[in-house]
Amino acid sequence: MTGGAEVPREASLDVIQRELTAFARRARAAAARVHPELPLVSYTLLAHIDGQRGCRATDLATHYLLDKSTVSRQVATLERLGLVERRPAPDDHRVQVLHPTEAGAEVLASAQTSRLAAYQERLRDWSADDLAQFAAYLLRYNTASPSGLPDSSPH
Amino acid sequence: MTGGAEVPREASLDVIQRELTAFARRARAAAARVHPELPLVSYTLLAHIDGQRGCRATDLATHYLLDKSTVSRQVATLERLGLVERRPAPDDHRVQVLHPTEAGAEVLASAQTSRLAAYQERLRDWSADDLAQFAAYLLRYNTASPSGLPDSSPH
DNA sequence: CCGGTTCAGTTGTATAGTACAACGGTTATG
DNA sequence: CATAACCGTTGTACTATACAACTGAACCGG
């Protein structure tokens, strides 16, 4: 499988396109099955908030290419669920610094555990080496400057 | 980067989980940017219909893990746009065999071209070998039996 | 051949996620 | 200070999706 560069670029690109799209299509459903209580996006945002140890809504929006209104509502939902709290920044009255509540941290940990378990199960047959390389490829793909896409067009 | 199996499985799984999720989050927006006229799911279904040279709605549903109602509406949309046509199967009056119209084939080809171009651009720096391997990993991931996930629960 | 079951697809209803546009406060800058 | 830039909310609309209830068609056992 690691053979010698015989596959034409275009064929690989086609597969990558199709498979990434296929993954995208299924991701939400899978996420919902794994942890119905915490919707995919909320989960992701909560994880980011937690990972950053406090961040602003705008940060989330730019990081995930989401509209501010989307983030605003997602955060509102998370707050309504008691998973995050907003602390007004003392220095800048416009911004709200988001932090996970204790409950939020717990829910997040639980969700992370079960999702990790699902991946663990799914990728059971993979060697550690393949896992590492697949992860590296994904990382490389995602961190590639999004300017590679015809991003532009602010509508 | 292809080094010797030093990365623990769990770390890789964590990255894979996060990066696949990140990708999923952005996929739709990216697709919309690349080809606003043909929504992501419609595009995918149209591509499948085209690739299969005629298929049933149920096939789409099972293949993509979608509810039949979802497929029904998507197909209805595609039909309304004049991109697919339904031909009642002569042998079984229940099924409708879906085929792309001429317009549908054209739109599909155009969308495929521009999406491929976007990927081409984005993955410009990748060697053919890396592309082939990334594609292989994705394929392997997606074709892994979904039974690995807590699929079950017919609700 | 009739009645129950299974299968294909549609429609009603509800929900998540998202965008865009318009707005209200807040801070920064000329 | 006035205007611009910025942060977040809210109104509105749309896509994608699921579940449930339903219609019609086909199959199956007696």
Q: For B63-113, how does the pLDDT look when each residue is reduced to its tens digit (9 = 90+)?
A: 888 999 999 999 999 999 999 999 999 999 999 999 999 999 998 888 888
- The verdict on B32 touching A (C-beta cutoff 8 Å) is no
Q: Inter-chain contact B132–A17, Cβ cutoff 8 Å?
A: no
3-state DSSP call for residue B120? Answer: helix
Tell me what the mean pLDDT of segment A50-56 comes to: 90
Judged by a CB distance cut-off of 8 A, whether residue A155 touches chain B is no
* Structure confidence at residue A147 (pLDDT): 36
Sequence-distant (6+) residues with CB within 8 A of B70 are: B61
Instruction: Give the residue with greater pLDDT, A154 vs A149.
Output: A149
Instruction: Supply the pLDDT for residue A140.
Output: 87
As a residue count, chain A comes to: 155
Quick check: A49 and B30 in contact, CB under 8 A?
Answer: no
Per CA to C1' distance, which residue is closest to D11?
A: A69
Residues A101-149 pLDDT 10s: 999 999 888 888 887 787 788 888 999 999 999 989 988 887 765 433 3
pLDDT over 70 (residue A80): yes
Residues 6+ apart with CB under 8 A from A113: none
Residues, CB < 7 Å to strand C: A 28, 39-42, 65-70, 73-74, 77, 92-94, 155; B 25, 28-29, 56-58, 68-69, 72-73, 75-76, 86, 92, 94-96
Closest approach of B70 to chain A, Cα-based (Å):
13
Determine the pLDDT at residue B143: 74
Q: What is the mean pLDDT of residues B3-14?
A: 75
- pLDDT score, position B20: 74
HSE value, Cβ hemisphere, 13 Å, CA-based, for B76? 6
Six token digits for residue A25: 């299509």
Domain A10-127 has CATH 3.40.50.150: no
The pTM score is 0.75
